[in-house]
């Protein structure tokens, strides 16, 4: 990031303020009002002392850790307290600032703005130091499938624990105050091997937002358009095509649309009696899930095996599974001892010469979004 991306951004006319001390007077004046209006009302500082335990810090959230001392303290030896502020995920991570004198677009990260004004959260204290940090907790689900009476309920119970599991990684800004680091290491109970000093912004997901900034299209790689599948190009009847011969489709180089059309056609075709499908991961607004629900609502026999153990998509899959059940689908919550990570769809159709089965078989997921990557 520091060696390559940020210099490249600057050449393209984009400056990212990674440290609030780099701000100009005009930018500071702009941020004074922005902070008071948009950020300050949402922040919730939490301190730790003899009467208040160390606050619970959620998994993978970005936080600002600070050491604060009373302004009017009469103690000879300076004492300090630990405080932390979670960077609100509901606010945009990138904040646009007035353009630079050379016309460059300037942005600053939300956590740097909070660092700059963190003193406003502790009116009767001096802020000795403040640094961003993030923890990652053990996300492994401890599910004994042989002992679990209800796999769905057991996974739901384990998901609630995931946010508060054992800390296995601490990321913190390079150059952090040793006193602050000592507190974090002690409270999170992490070893030296699990501490990562970051020489720049923590949590680089903000770069996806940078990519989406307007005015820089000339610097982006042109999007790839998957090739159409020749066999399906001139007909809407996917069953007729498959009936003639097997069709091989290579994603993402070839379009995923025929797969979506296959399921949608099966859902609307009055001659289709049943649909059986596996689901591992799907897109946020999945046309395939919507088609399965419509098929069940229209009276077709729809059976869906939803893999509850899809890593980090467990919660999404539970939501899809319950929605499909409400639509009338028969939902199977995975297979005992196995993880189903594949694309399988069987469509059972009544035709003039009897019952015929049409199958789509492949690796990966029924995710129409990632199939294009």
Residues β-bridged to residue 212: none
Region of residue 189 (phi > 0: left; psi between -120 and 50: alpha; otherwise: beta): left
Which of 303-331 are b and which e, b meaning 16 or more Cβ less than 10 Å from the residue's Cβ?
Answer: bbbbbbbbeebbeebbebbeebeebbbeb
Residue whose entry in the numeric block shows the structure tokens 């919730």: 44
251, 316, 330, 341: the catalytic one is 341
> Is the CA virtual torsion 272, 277, 282, 284 positive or negative?
positive
Active site annotation includes 251: no
Sign of CA dihedral 160, 166, 170, 176: positive
Q: Which two tokens stand for residue 267?
A: 């859902």
Nearest-angstrom CA–CA distance, 296 and 59: 38
- DSSP-assigned beta bridge partners for residue 83: 47, 66
**DSSP H helix total and E strand total for the chain:** 10, 14
Number of alpha carbons in the 13 Å side-chain half-sphere of residue 293 = 14
Q: CA of 180: how far to CAs of 4, 66, 133, 149, 175, in Å?
A: 30, 7, 11, 45, 11
The angle subtended at Cα 347 by Cα 343 and Cα 350, nearest 5°, is 170
List the one residue out of 285, 222, 225 whose CA is nearest residue 255: 225
Angle between helices 110-117 and 25-34 (to 10 degrees): 90
Q: How many CA atoms lie within 13 A of 92 on its CB side?
A: 13
Core vs surface per residue 58-73: b (16+ CB within 10 A) or e: eebebbbbbbbeeeee
Which residues are known catalytic residues?
Answer: 341
């Amino acid at each position: 990031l520091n060696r390559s991306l940020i210099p490249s951004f600057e050449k393209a006319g984009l400056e990212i303020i990674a440290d609030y001390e780099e701000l100009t007077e005009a930018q500071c004046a702009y941020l004074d009002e922005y902070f008071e209006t948009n950020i300050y009302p949402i922040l919730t500082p939490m301190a730790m002392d003899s009467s208040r335990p160390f606050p619970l810090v959620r998994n993978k959230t970005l936080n600002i850790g600070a050491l604060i001392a009373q302004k009017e303290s009469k103690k000879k030896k300076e004492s300090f307290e630990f405080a932390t502020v979670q960077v609100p995920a509901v606010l945009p991570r990138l904040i646009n600032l007035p353009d630079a004198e050379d016309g460059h677009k300037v942005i600053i990260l939300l956590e740097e703005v909070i660092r700059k004004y963190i003193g406003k959260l502790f009116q009767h204290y001096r802020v000795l130091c403040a640094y961003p940090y993030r923890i990652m907790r053990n996300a492994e689900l401890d599910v004994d499938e042989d002992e679990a009476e209800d796999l769905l309920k057991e996974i739901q119970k384990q998901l609630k624990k995931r946010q508060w599991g054992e800390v296995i990684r601490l990321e913190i800004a390079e150059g952090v105050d040793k006193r602050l680091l000592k507190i974090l290491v002690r409270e999170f109970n992490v070893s030296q091997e699990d501490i990562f000093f970051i020489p720049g912004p923590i949590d680089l997901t903000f770069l996806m937002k940078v990519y989406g900034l307007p005015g820089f299209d000339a610097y982006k790689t042109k999007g790839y358009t998957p090739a159409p599948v020749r066999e399906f190009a001139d007909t809407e009847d996917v069953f007729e095509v498959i009936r003639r011969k097997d069709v091989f489709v290579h994603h993402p180089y070839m379009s995923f649309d025929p797969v979506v059309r296959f399921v949608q056609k099966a859902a609307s075709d009055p001659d289709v009696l049943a649909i059986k499908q596996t689901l591992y991961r799907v897109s946020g607004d999945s046309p395939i899930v919507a088609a399965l629900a419509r098929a069940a609502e229209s009276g077709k026999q729809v059976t869906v095996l939803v893999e509850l153990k899809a890593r980090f998509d467990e919660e999404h899959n539970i939501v899809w599974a319950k929605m499909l059940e409400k639509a009338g689908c028969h939902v199977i919550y995975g297979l005992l001892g196995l993880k189903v990570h594949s694309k399988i769809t069987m469509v059972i159709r009544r035709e003039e010469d009897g019952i015929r089965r049409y199958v789509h078989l492949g690796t990966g997921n029924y995710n129409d979004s990632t199939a294009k990557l």
